[in-house]
Amino acid sequence: MYPAKFDYVAPSSLDEALKLLSESGGEAKILAGGHSLLPMMKLRLAQPATLIDLRNVPGLTEIKVDQNGISIGAMVTHAQIAASPEVQRALPMLSEAAHMVGDLQVRNRGTLGGSLAHADPAGDLPGVFLALDGEIVARGPNGERTIKASEFFVDILTTALEENEIVTQVRLPSLPPKTGTSYQKFEHPASHYALTGVAAVVTMGDGGVVQQIRVGVTGVGPKAYRAEGVEQALQGKGADGIAQAAEKAPDGIDCNDDIHASAEYRAHLARVFTRRALQAAIERAGG
Ligand SMILES: Cc1cc2nc3c(=O)[nH]c(=O)nc-3n(C[C@H](O)[C@H](O)[C@H](O)COP(=O)(O)OP(=O)(O)OC[C@H]3O[C@@H](n4cnc5c(N)ncnc54)[C@H](O)[C@@H]3O)c2cc1C
């Protein structure tokens, strides 16, 4: 399948990219790894007049660690995240999840910024981003702003980004002591996309009870979401509360129903994989 005709530009600065994007009047698209955008163009689900490739824009490929956490440039690939010793040390769940994305070719091309901006309901990293309580740094014609993970995903393939904004960085806070994390995924056997993916971040308090918890779920509904029912049910409880809390994983979600899995099956997977992610996270937290 061939995409519709389009122009291609590869600006050498962020300002130039932003100018081109604004001047296109909504007809241009940012190109990062191209592993979601190009398939959509080939299926004619997207027909941008111009692709603005970020490959020559400096400053988007760094991983930086400081006392507050990690910031990752929008053009850092899944493979680079998976291989980064800094990420492995500070946020092992992100490294594990990046390693589970697609296959080697996909991981070598696909980027963190592209994955989050695309907001595929079956993408791995949106759920992890929610559970890690990160934030997006975006630049637009009026300057820079940050968008919290909890406000970023709006609907299927839709985010809080404006048409003329570019993601430059993803910031992720460091984890407090006695925190365990785990990403558990039931993947489609061909594409490796998540039929269900659950990311759990659990901090244990005194007496073996859960002090703080965040659970991000992907693959189940039209967008990645925080499983708030699960979080509330396990807050202040011990590991023996996991099974009961995990039952709430699909609560309030209009579960996807398609050729890959029925809504009922996805709800079941959400419960099972939430239980597994919570068990692993609490174990790693030493609880
Ligand atoms: C065979 C195959 C298997 C895959 N399996 C998985 C999987 O198992 N799990 C998974 O999570 N993903 C999977 N993917 C998707 C892959 O991770 C993509 O690379 C990713 O979702 C998009 O990143 P990208 O860099 O390729 O973005 P692109 O395809 O270049 O862009 C995607 C969208 O984001 C926008 N965009 C990109 N970067 C920016 C930016 N900096 N600022 C603003 N907008 C931006 C683009 O305009 C476009 O609309 C798979 C893809 C393929 C082809």
How confident is the model over 36-45, as pLDDT tens digits? 999 999 999 9
Q: Which numeric CATH code is attached to 63-173?
A: 3.30.465.10
Same fold for the domain at 7-53 and the one at 179-284?
A: no
Residue 1 has pLDDT above 90, yes or no: no
Cβ burial 38-52 (10 Å sphere, 16+ → b, else e): eebbeeeebebebbb
pLDDT average, residue stretch 128-153: 98
- Across the chain, mean pLDDT equals 97
Residue 262 CB–ligand 1 contact under 6 Å: no
237 lines ligand 1 (CB under 6 A): no
The structure tokens listed for 110 are 């696909």
**Residue 287 pLDDT > 80:** no
Full-model pTM = 0.97
Nearest atom of ligand 1 to the alpha carbon of 218: 11
Burial of 4 (0-12, 13-18, 19+ CB in 10 A): exposed
Flag whether pLDDT at 57 surpasses 90.
yes
Burial 101-121 (b: 16+ CB within 10 A, else e): bbeeebbebbbbbbbbbbbbb
Query: Any idea where the domains of the chain sit in the sequence?
Result: 7-53, 63-173, 179-284
Q: What is the DSSP string of 45-69?
A: S---SEEEE-TT-TTSS-EEEETTE
Q: Is 92 exposed, middle or buried (0-12, 13-18, 19+ CB in 10 A)?
A: middle
pLDDT of residue 16: 98
Level-2 CATH architecture, domain 179-284: 2-Layer Sandwich (3.30)
- Who wins on pLDDT, 144 or 66? 144
Residue to probe by mutation, ligand 1, list 24, 35, 45, 129, most atoms within 8 Å of CB: 35
Q: What CATH code is assigned to 7-53?
A: 3.30.43.10
pLDDT at 67: 85
Q: Given this model, what pLDDT does residue 132 score? A: 98
